[in-house]
A and B are shown apart, each in its own frame.
Chain A
Amino acid sequence: MAFSTTVSQRKHIKRKAPRGFLKRVFKRQKPHLRLETRGDLLVHLNCLLFVHRLAEETRMNAFENKCGVIKKEHVQAAAKVILKKSRG
């Protein structure tokens, strides 16, 4: 299902879920397990939310440092926090 909601920004963000990629990643990690059809969509949703949170945290870090550009340190610090949160 190829769909592309028109995004009025410079970068055209695709809303498609890389289902093949997700399935491949899961297979590579856990070859003895199977992933259901609709499961990968939810995995995609999870990834989206993760990325959102990560980006938000990174932005906050950059703002705290009064930087106009996101740097590696910001990302690293944010990743630590968010990954801990996402452990489940």
Chain B
Amino acid sequence: MADSYDGDSEPTTRTLLRRVLDTADTRTPRRRRSARVGYERALSESASNHTDYGSGLSRIHGNVEEQTPRTLLKNILLTAPESSIMRPESVVKPVPTPQVVQSSRRDSSRGSLELQLPELEPSTTLALGLLAPGRRKQRLRLSVFQQGVDQGLPLSQEPRGNASASSLTSSLNLTFATPLQPQSVQRPGLARRPPTHRAVDVGAFLQDLRDTSLALASPGDSLRTPVATLPTDTVLEDTQPFSQPLVGRSPSGYHSLPCLSHTEVEDAERAISHRTQSSGPRLQNHSEYMGHVAQRSVRTEKSKRHREMSEAVEAKEPEGSSGDEDISGRTGKGPSVGMRDLSSEPLEPLPTRLPPRARTPGPRPRQDPHKTGLSHYVKLFSFSAKMPMEKKALEMVEKCLDKYFQHLCDDLEVFAAHAGRKTVKPEDLELLMRRQGLVNDQVSLHVLVERYLPLEYRQLLIPCAFSGNSVFPAQ
């Protein structure tokens, strides 16, 4: 390999490389050689212009047919990054040692791939060497390559050139992509998620709705994926066992469908609801839900098209329980289909939550908020007691608190009336506490406030002087 000698050598890259080859034979470690070669090559490249490099390309390709190390070297030169001066470590380049050359050739062709995944092939240090500088010098290479192309180099024609050109082009193609990909590859967490093409889905759903009004919605699984496979296909292919009742209702469905096209979102939601509701495994759940939703939907009045849509929707439902359909159809008057769909949407991922939602929330017992408010003080009691308590004891505490509040309000009323007011003021409270024995001459109200209340409340209660001759709270 060292013997290969070209007559048309110019005192530039090739000679340098050859020199390196000759001298590098003795050394086994690739790195050293590559370092040397890279270094010399860097020197040569720095010395030579880009055009010179381009001309070098032409020269190189003249010898492409020869499978000599030199040609391989040239390929490497082409594919490998140009100036390694910037990065000393990049000097570690796949120097074409006899064995290395071939592998480097492979790597050069493969370099494109490796450019994408530099770290994924640690086995080949050459690849690494190629990659490290390659990533940074792709722009340069592109310009150079473009120059070379402009010069009319038949790069793509020759087989060797193919390899190099393909690698070049592939690498070039990758120039813009590689800066992004390696990051994602190295740090998968930084990789961007594919955008959810919601808009596309809506449009597709509209199309589906119009095209296949009769066809029952495709299984909801297809819809589950946000980047859904085209629903049209699934809808067309869908063969619902209960498609018969839909036939009769199809005209209504058709009528309603165009009306619905106004609100794409609603349509999408409906589609989703259709599809999810029609899915086999969810039939029962959704049938139940349909009935309940219908009941709920009765309350809200909506436009007529919604009604029609609801009918059509319900008609479409492949419910085994037609009773639900009837119910929903009857009560479908002015149903908020959108509401249903909206509500169905969150239901989709959690069919198990249906039962709680199905329950019509009746009027909450009046005691509930009262109990919750009292529970705050009950917790305080149990905390202050520092002892385990029985449930009955806690209930007793609640009763005590109720009585206490009654007494409190009565007393405050008396005090306010005594002062001729109808509003209970803090003075009344202070008087109450004084009468209770909490506040006396030794212990003032402010002391108690400071002791028991948190800072924010203290600020509100105790007047404090601030800058600017202002007192807050104002007295």
Chain A residues proximal to chain B, CB less than 8 Å: 1, 3, 5, 9, 11, 13-15, 17-18, 20-22, 24-26, 29-30, 32-36, 38-39, 41-52, 54-56, 58-59, 62, 68-72, 74-76, 79, 82-83, 85-88
User: Is B466 on the interface with A (CB-CB < 8 A)?
Assistant: no
Name B459's closest neighbour in chain A (CB-CB): A1
The interface residues of chain A, by DSSP majority, are classed as: helix
List chain B residues, Cβ under 8 A from A42: 426, 429-430, 433, 445, 449, 461
Q: Do A51 and B424 have beta carbons less than 8 Å apart?
A: no
Shortest Cβ distance from residue A14 to the other chain B in the assembled complex, whole angstroms: 7
Since A21-B372, A59-B386 are in contact, a sample of 9 more A-B pairs with Cβ atoms closer than 8 Å, ordered by chain A residue number, is A3-B454, A33-B413, A34-B423, A45-B433, A45-B453, A58-B393, A70-B388, A86-B404, A86-B408
Contact of A26 among B384, B409, B422 (CB under 8 A): B409
Give the distance in Å from the alpha carbon of A21 to the alpha carbon of B376 in the complex.
10
Q: Do A25 and B373 have beta carbons less than 8 Å apart?
A: yes
Shortest Cβ distance from residue A86 to the other chain B in the assembled complex, whole angstroms: 5
Q: Do A41 and B383 have beta carbons less than 8 Å apart?
A: no
Contact of A33 among B379, B400, B422, B426 (CB under 8 A): B422
Name A17's closest neighbour in chain B (CB-CB): B457
Give the distance in Å from the alpha carbon of A26 to the alpha carbon of B426 in the complex.
14
Considering only CB atoms and an 8 Å cut-off, how many residues of chain B contact the other chain?
64
Q: Do B393 and A75 have beta carbons less than 8 Å apart?
A: yes
Q: Do A70 and B387 have beta carbons less than 8 Å apart?
A: yes
Q: Do A29 and B423 have beta carbons less than 8 Å apart?
A: no
Contact of B433 among A22, A46, A79, A82 (CB under 8 A): A46
Q: Do B387 and A68 have beta carbons less than 8 Å apart?
A: yes
Q: Do B373 and A55 have beta carbons less than 8 Å apart?
A: no
List chain A residues, Cβ under 8 A from B389: 69-70
Contact of B388 among A25, A47, A68, A85 (CB under 8 A): A68
User: Is B473 on the interface with A (CB-CB < 8 A)?
Assistant: yes
List chain B residues, Cβ under 8 A from A72: 390, 392-393, 395-396
